[in-house]
């Protein structure tokens, strides 16, 4: 699957909103260490379909989902 630069698809305001949305989804996952949290932010911001999936999951499922893709 080819990555598409998010800035090419949306304007800066939309990028900021997406990053804020990603951070809101990750705020309850306190176990994520700083480096892993930053990787997850980047990965989710670039993969909006993964963000949509994450948003639909329970907290326990979110933790597992992130760990599967980030490890």
* 31 touches 43 (CB < 8 A): no
Q: What is the pTM of this model?
A: 0.74
Q: For residue range 7-63, what is the model confidence (pLDDT) as tens digits?
A: 556 688 888 899 999 999 998 888 888 888 899 999 999 999 999 999 999 988 998
* 41 touches 19 (CB < 8 A): yes
Q: Check residue 58 and give its pLDDT.
A: 93
Q: What is the dihedral of CA 8, 57, 61, 6, to 10 degrees?
A: 0
Q: Check residue 4 and give its pLDDT.
A: 52
């Amino acid at each position: 699957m080819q990555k598409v630069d998010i800035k090419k698809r949306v304007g800066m305001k939309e990028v900021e909103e997406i990053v804020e949305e990603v951070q809101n989804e990750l705020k309850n996952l306190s176990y994520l260490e700083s480096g892993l949290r930053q990787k997850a932010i980047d990965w989710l911001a670039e993969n909006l379909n993964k963000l949509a999936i994450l948003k639909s999951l329970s907290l326990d499922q979110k933790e597992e989902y992130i760990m599967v893709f980030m490890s």
